[in-house]
Amino acid sequence: MNILISQNKKIQLLFKIYYLIFLLIVLSVLTSLIFTNNFYQKSVRIENTSVNTDEKDRTIYYISELHTAKSLQQNKFIHDFQIDHIRETKVIPNLNVVKLPRDLRSINSIKSRKELFIKITLPLIVQENNKLLSLNKKINSIKINFDTVSRKEAVLIKKLMGEYKADTLDALLIKVDKIPVSLALAQAAIESGWGTSRFAYEGNALFGQYVWGVTNNGIIPNDRETDANYKIKSFNSLSDSVASYMKNLNTNFHYNEFRVNRFVLRSNNIPLTGSYLAEYLISYSIEDDYTDKIKKIIEINEFEDFENLTIEKQLSLVSDII
């Protein structure tokens, strides 16, 4: 007897019960899938360019459309990213978290909150430094082989000289170089309140950079004076914020002394340390004890353990989550 057309009320009731059970199972599975994939993650192969040859075989794993800090902590890539393991191996996963979760401050444990911030920010700093090192290597190669420079290389050098406000290759080499990881990480922590400031989660602003004039790329501070016209510069992504910060230190005249001292260290094969070079960032903030604050953050959190990290070519996960 076909239960769909049966007139037996008991059979009809049984059918309805089975139908509801089936529907609940389907809904449970769908709900589980939704909540375990709060992020859109995409594997992207970096293009092989003349200025980024060291990165050509690496895969960046982007994590975007974040919803909550808890969801990010539970993400497979982030969860497997162990800070202590990075300190030991000096190898870091090639992650790119696009935005900060708005509720980062909801993590009650200060230690856990700091660790999540480091997991988000540290790979971005290393990635940008690698780009700068690759450019520095390219510029130096062109300088050594200047008599045989190609048209493509000449165009590149002209472009970089404009970007970095340099008129010679030597001046360009002083400006196009990496920033100590410990220094960048400490400043990001200070300027963004470990990722909890409004500027950080609304505008991806990790370093509190100012911008003046009429522009949409900025956030007005709540305590700004009525006659002031500056804003905190905002960005499309956290990686853009890191790149802008490094360009600022590498071009702004306020940091000439910083760059010269960095060049002296590099020329004498002396390792760059954030604690030492922080002394030359007095102009970065109006706070009198700003450089001491940077050094204290570096020391307390042992950030100098993160200098000279290498990027893992591929993560242990081979499949993308979409």
**What confidence tier does 232 reach under pLDDT thresholds 50, 70, 90?**
confident
pLDDT tens, residue by residue, 242-276: 999 999 999 999 999 999 999 999 999 999 999 99
Q: What is the pLDDT of residues 55-94, one digit of tens each?
A: 454 577 788 765 688 888 888 888 888 999 999 999 999 9
Cα separation, 150 vs 161, whole angstroms = 16
| Residue 232 token pair | 């905190």
pTM: 0.79
Helical packing angle, 238-251 and 151-164, nearest 10°: 80
Tens of pLDDT along 88-128? Answer: 999 999 999 999 988 999 999 999 999 999 999 999 999 99
Domain boundaries, the chain: 40-311
Residues linked to residue 41 through DSSP beta bridges, in sequence order: 63
Which pair of tokens denotes residue 222? 């709540």
- Which tens digits make up the pLDDT trace of 201-230? 899 999 988 887 666 677 777 677 776 777
Averaged confidence pLDDT in the chain = 83
Residue 21: what pLDDT? 76
Which runs of E-coded beta strand occur in 94-148?
Answer: 95-97
Where is pLDDT greater, at 8 or 33? 8
Q: What angle do CA 11, 17, 22 make, to 5 degrees?
A: 125
Q: Are 214 and 203 in contact (CB under 8 A)?
A: no
**Which pLDDT value is given to residue 219?**
74
CATH of 40-311, picked from 3.10.129.10, 1.10.530.10, 3.40.309.10, 3.40.50.2300, is: 1.10.530.10
Judge contact between 182 and 303, C-beta under 8 A.
Answer: yes
Span 154-182, average pLDDT: 96
Task: Decide if 207 contacts 192 (C-beta within 8 A).
Answer: yes
Q: Which pairing describes strands 210-211 and 231-233: parallel, antiparallel, or unpaired?
A: antiparallel
Q: Which tokens belong to 157?
A: 């050098």
Q: Look at residue 14 in the predicted model and tell me its pLDDT.
A: 66
Cα–Cα separations (whole angstroms), residue 303 to 102, 160, 242, 267, 306 = 25, 31, 17, 24, 6
DSSP state for residue 169 in the 8-state scheme = H
What was the pLDDT predicted at 319? 29
What's the pLDDT score for residue 206? 95
Identify the residue with better confidence: 232 or 47: 232
Q: How many other C-beta atoms lie within 10 A of the C-beta of residue 223?
A: 5
Return the pLDDT at 277.
97
Say what the pLDDT of residue 61 is: 77
DSSP letter (8 states) at residue 215: -
